[in-house]
Structure 1
Amino acid sequence: MSTTSPRIVIAGGGLAGLSLALALKQAMGDSLDVVMCDPALRRDPHGDKRAYAIAAAARRMLEALHVWDKVAPGAQPMLDMVITDSRLQDPVRPTFLTFSGDVGEGEPFAHMVTAGDLTAALIEACTAAGVSLKAQGVRGFTAAAGHVDVLLADGEAALPAALLVAADGARSKLREQAGIGWISWPYRQSGIVATIAHERDHEGRAVEHFLPSGPFAILPLKSETLPDGTVKHRSSIVWSERSENVPALLESDPEHLLVELERRFGLQLGKVAFETTPQAFPLSFGVARTFVGDRIALLGDAAHVIHPIAGQGLNLGLHDAASLAQVIADAMRLGQDPGGADVLEAYERARRADITAMGLMTDGLNRLFSNDLLPVRLIRDLGLGLVDRMPGLKRFFIREAAGLTNRDAPRLLKGEAL
């Protein structure tokens, strides 16, 4: 390997991996060779209709990477949030907590974006910046003295690199090959996700219904104007349900499934309909025992998986990318090895506390709200009501959700270039 132009290989072309590739290449230019490997790069990214909540700090990062302007026209600002706690059969769902207001002048605390739009913008920016995009997977690696040999799926000669970044998902084969342990437990819940069309405008409001089987979130999406001039209003749902109930729900008659949706969605937005086919995935908690190994770093879901109750999964992955990009760029400017042990330890220190805190918080919230014990219901509803009457505490929580409370956050999350 050349000592003047080291190489970093990123295995996994998801949003966190693409953001890391772009951040590194924009920061280091020709002094760093960045290679992205993922068979999914063959597919049209616009086919991915999943929706994600992008917190204000992550949006600042995308602005610093010069991709937000391509995503913004299709992004829906999240202007306020309503939290309810009830049983499914209750005739009234009392509102216990509301959040509203911007975290900065004209800056909403979050935006909803379509995964396909953001992926396409990142791929375009990576190509323009000079990232090498390979539509093939990484099948393994061998750490050697001062570098790592990365083995590609097509059997090409091994790519020598200073660092391999495993961004290959929660079931990471590279994490397993590195011998990094994984602590996890299932929630006995599944998340059903879909895009919903509805009659009335959501006005940028997100709703979180806490139900005994799990939270039911309604997240606002950008409305569409159809060729005939009519406006189609849309929202994304994340429907947490007991896993044993999910097969019967998804295999039921479409009209029955729509009735079950309406029971949870409510009537506040008028008539509703499925715009995309509902898909389910099991929910669990997982965290790697360490985020780094010999010439390898874990990123995104390969490092941690949390409950979607707070919508922070992708934001954690983007925070990983911002932190890893910063420690690598700073090290290289000092003439240090970007895959050296000191650099990787700095990444581990930067991320461990934040990920542990977010994992514990989401785990605790899910356990607190996904039950129907009367004493617990009374205590949690009292707590929600007290928070709703404390403006200062509400501002803190909304800035925490926006990712803006950490003074030691990476520069990209503050909107600053590397």
Structure 2
Amino acid sequence: MDNPRTVTIVGFMTCDSDILIAGGGLNGPSLALALADGGLNVTLVDAAPDGARETQGFDGRCYALALASQRLFQAIGVWPLLDGNAQPILNVKVTDGRAGEGPGPFVMGFDHAEIEEGPTGYMVEDRFISGALREAVERHPLITKISDAKAISQQVDGAIVTVGLDDGTSHTTRLLVGADGRGSGVASRAGIKRNGHSYHQTAVVCSVAHEKPHNATAHQFFMPDGPLAILPLPGDHSSIVWSTSDDTAARLAGLSDDDFMEELRPVFGDFLGDISLSGVRLTYPLSLSLAEHFVKDRLALVGDAAHGVHPVAGQGLNLGLRDVGALAEVVIEARRRGEDFAAVDVLARYEQWRRWDTTVMSAGMDGVVRLFSNDNPILRAARGMGLGIVNALPTLRRNFIREAAGLTGDLPKLMQGRQI
């Protein structure tokens, strides 16, 4: 059941909450919990009906949570609700080759034992993350959740933002946060434009059961049309993210399950024995999309509303959770100092913090996609040599492992496992 509405005082006026978050996916509830733990009253607006994000059965959607993201979930009280359904990622293997021919001779391998902190990350199904966040949000006394409603208007008047919902109600707040995805209505209504391009690829997502154990190993197999990620799940199951050309993906989507598996098997290989489809198949068009600004007066963007990247390194949600940790830290610490936490000069600290990391990560993944998604023989040779060189140099290899675990850069306190 939704919590009762709260009231916060701004000068001689009252607001329904300190912060209103538009978007009930994964980043929105995570941010709500982080801010509420810092003593702020939060309204969370979710376009989906209550509980609709949690399917009864497995639907193929999974996330690779970097170790730093796991620490954030631990810090906001969500990880104890997830731990039993999480699969640690202990090893990562990266190869290059052609479909049906197997990987080339060079392999870049990462072993979590090479760093002291723990597993590189964890694989968790979307339904379990959504369920854990919903449970934590519902029991937090400072969060009001409004389900089955969407923000459709916003108006800044001095220190107050009035947000109109499609259920006919309006809500006042000091700060509006857009966590409403790549097509963010919050961003577009604020006049924030986006830059980017299509990769002319589509991700085919599903899960498979296999005969042999995966040994907690994630595989990234680069092919000319796009990469195939094989990611370990609890038990003898793995999540598949097959990025391929739009035309090939459309053809795969139209096949029966049996015919689809006949296409997947030669690409997947037989190193895990026979495989069978588990759950449904989903497709997602792939593109790069960056907002020109992450903040305006009384407004901030997080997650895909700020940046959408290629899933080649599984960093989309992890980048969003870094936004969550950084924005929560900036806002909470500004409030403790008696500052107007929703003023644009305060929010600029969040943008400065996150803009460089996001730009570098986006450019890096864009470069990897362009380098590996082709069949140029010269580039193929260079790619193989590069994988071999990284694999042969322990210091460089450990740096890659720490990057994959989300342990590099200027980390927010929550991603260090610390309270704000």
Q: TM-score range by the shorter chain?
A: over 0.9
Corresponding residue SS for 2:276? strand
Superimposed CA distance per residue, residues 141-178 of structure 1 (whole angstroms, 9 cap, x where no aligned partner): 0111111111111111x211111001111011121110
Which amino acid in 2 is paired with 1:20?
A: L
Determine which of 142, 153, 161 is the counterpart of 1:148: 161
Which amino acid in 1 is paired with 2:42?
A: V
In structure 2, how many angstroms separate the alpha carbons of the residues matched to 1:103 and 1:9? 42
Assess if the C-alpha contact under 8 Å between 1:183 and 1:289 holds in 2: yes
Moved more, 201-210 or 250-259: 250-259
In structure 2, how many angstroms separate the alpha carbons of the residues matched to 1:82 and 1:21? 36
Q: Quote the residue 2:338 is aligned against.
A: 335
In structure 1, how many angstroms separate the alpha carbons of the residues matched to 2:117 and 2:356? 31
Equivalent residues in 2 for 1:43-54, closer than 5 Å: 43-47=51-55, 49=59, 50-54=61-65
Q: Quote the residue 1:81 is aligned against.
A: 92
Equivalent residues in 2 for 1:309-324, closer than 5 Å: 309-324=312-327
Which amino acid in 2 is paired with 1:327?
A: V
Assess if the C-alpha contact under 8 Å between 2:19 and 2:42 holds in 1: yes
Moved more, 77-86 or 94-103: 94-103
Uncovered stretches (5+) of structure 1, i.e. residues with no partner: 224-232
Q: Quote the residue 1:411 is aligned against.
A: 413
Assess if the C-alpha contact under 8 Å between 2:106 and 2:384 holds in 1: no
Assess if the C-alpha contact under 8 Å between 2:163 and 2:172 holds in 1: yes
Q: Quote the residue 2:403 is aligned against.
A: 400
Assess if the C-alpha contact under 8 Å between 1:13 and 1:41 holds in 2: no
Equivalent residues in 2 for 1:159-238, closer than 5 Å: 159-223=171-235, 233-238=236-241
In structure 1, how many angstroms separate the alpha carbons of the residues matched to 2:172 and 2:158? 11
Assess if the C-alpha contact under 8 Å between 2:104 and 2:384 holds in 1: no
Which amino acid in 1 is paired with 2:48?
A: A
| 1:361 pairs with 2:344 | no
Determine which of 253, 257, 262 is the counterpart of 1:254: 257
Superimposed CA distance per residue, residues 282-332 of structure 1 (whole angstroms, 9 cap, x where no aligned partner): 100010000012211111001000000010000000000000000000011
Moved more, 169-178 or 39-48: 39-48
Moved more, 253-262 or 179-188: 253-262
Assess if the C-alpha contact under 8 Å between 1:53 and 1:113 holds in 2: yes
Q: Quote the residue 1:37 is aligned against.
A: 45
Corresponding residue SS for 2:201? strand
Assess if the C-alpha contact under 8 Å between 1:221 and 1:236 holds in 2: yes
Assess if the C-alpha contact under 8 Å between 2:23 and 2:179 holds in 1: yes
Determine which of 341, 347, 350 is the counterpart of 1:347: 350
Superimposed CA distance per residue, residues 254-284 of structure 1 (whole angstroms, 9 cap, x where no aligned partner): 3221111101111011111111221111100
Tell me how far 1:94 sits from its aligned partner.
Answer: 3.1
In structure 1, how many angstroms separate the alpha carbons of the residues matched to 2:350 and 2:80? 29
Determine which of 235, 243, 267 is the counterpart of 2:246: 243
Corresponding residue SS for 1:46? coil
Tell me how far 1:119 sits from its aligned partner.
Answer: 1.4
In structure 2, how many angstroms separate the alpha carbons of the residues matched to 1:41 and 1:204? 35
In structure 1, how many angstroms separate the alpha carbons of the residues matched to 2:337 and 2:243? 47
Q: Quote the residue 1:12 is aligned against.
A: 23
In structure 2, how many angstroms separate the alpha carbons of the residues matched to 1:17 and 1:91? 41
Tell me how far 1:212 sits from its aligned partner.
Answer: 0.5
Corresponding residue SS for 1:160? strand
In structure 1, how many angstroms separate the alpha carbons of the residues matched to 2:354 and 2:49? 28
Which amino acid in 2 is paired with 1:287?
A: L
| 1:272 pairs with 2:275 | yes
Which amino acid in 1 is paired with 2:373?
A: S
Which amino acid in 2 is paired with 1:174?
A: V
Root-mean-square deviation (Å): 1.5
Say if 1:102 and 1:151 are closer, same or farther in 2 by CA, change over 3 A: farther
Superimposed CA distance per residue, residues 221-244 of structure 1 (whole angstroms, 9 cap, x where no aligned partner): 011xxxxxxxxx110010001001
Assess if the C-alpha contact under 8 Å between 1:175 and 1:298 holds in 2: yes
Number of residues of Structure 1 aligned to a counterpart in Structure 2 = 404
Determine which of 40, 60, 81 is the counterpart of 2:71: 60
Moved more, 331-340 or 208-217: 331-340
Assess if the C-alpha contact under 8 Å between 2:106 and 2:385 holds in 1: no
Uncovered stretches (5+) of structure 2, i.e. residues with no partner: 1-7
Q: Quote the residue 1:227 is aligned against.
A: none
Tell me how far 1:67 sits from its aligned partner.
Answer: 1.4
Moved more, 104-113 or 176-185: 104-113
Corresponding residue SS for 2:323? helix
In structure 2, how many angstroms separate the alpha carbons of the residues matched to 1:350 and 1:317? 13
Tell me how far 1:403 sits from its aligned partner.
Answer: 1.1
Calculate percent identity across the aligned residue pairs.
Answer: 40
Which amino acid in 2 is paired with 1:336?
A: E
Which amino acid in 1 is paired with 2:41?
A: D
Q: Quote the residue 2:107 is aligned against.
A: 96
In structure 2, how many angstroms separate the alpha carbons of the residues matched to 1:35 and 1:92? 49
| 1:129 pairs with 2:131 | no
Assess if the C-alpha contact under 8 Å between 1:53 and 1:110 holds in 2: yes
TM-score, scaled relative to structure 1:
0.94
Assess if the C-alpha contact under 8 Å between 1:97 and 1:387 holds in 2: yes
